[in-house]
Amino acid sequence: MRDDRRRHIVAVVERVGVQTRATGDSDLWARVFALLYDPFLWAGERLNTGALRAALLSDASGCTVELGSGTGLNLRHYPEGLDELILTEPEPAMRARLARRLDRSRYRARVLEASAEQLPFADETVDTVVSTLVLCTVDAPDLALCEIRRVLRPGGRLLFIEHVRSESPRLARWQDRLAGPWRRFAEGCRCNRATVELIRACGLELVAVRQGSWRAMPPIVRPLITGVAINRDRREMRSVDG
């Protein structure tokens, strides 16, 4: 059964016939931002974010799809023995750096041009979806989360690390004030997005959420959550509701 699902996922990916755009198709700031991304996050990765990634991704299993893989900072934290690892990234400049990191690594994975709002996978064919610092950037997070739920098999898991709207009214006001400038600087990132509420609203069941701080980063993006959400079998949920 698992082999059949894996073959189907591979077939879907290959049918997409991804025509990856060249780095030159990114605008100037997108190319600069991709170049600065790893250095900008370096201190935070050393202080705590790298450890958070490692702890979270140790739970990845089966067919794993990562959303918005960026430059590939998660790559070294994936466990061995995954059935399939598919790294999606819609931005050409980021995807070029991701491909180079993958070439230098010992990991086998597919790099796919795809947005979180339109995932090219059949229903209930993915075991694990990974989203780290991604849901803040998508234009339609509710649609992206519905797509995540659609492709996850019953019992499949979303593993996430996201910066979120602060629970402190004072800091939340600053997040609102600086949302526009930050979004322009950080390639679409919304520093004031209430991501936990969005995950809950899409029907995924939050089973583990921890609050933390994204250390060495500007205060407006420091509030951090890490956690797991499960796609419960819809038939079971309907039975319970009935």
For residue 89, the domain's CATH number is 3.40.50.150
pLDDT in tens, 145-181: 999 999 999 999 999 999 999 999 999 999 999 999 9
Distance separating alpha carbons of residues 210 and 52, to the nearest angstrom = 11
Sheet of 126-132: strands edge to edge?
110-112, 84-88, 63-67, 126-132, 152-163, 223-230, 205-213
Report the number of distinct structural domains present in the chain: 1
Amino acid at 65: V
Q: What is 15-62 written as a DSSP string?
A: HH---PPPGGGS-HHHHHHHHHHHHHHHHHIIIIIHHHHHHHHTT--S
Specify the 3-state DSSP secondary structure of 129. Answer: strand
Distance separating alpha carbons of residues 131 and 128, to the nearest angstrom = 10
pLDDT in tens, 55-112: 999 999 999 999 999 999 999 999 999 999 999 999 999 999 999 999 999 889 999 9
- Identify the domain containing residue 210 by its residue range: 2-241
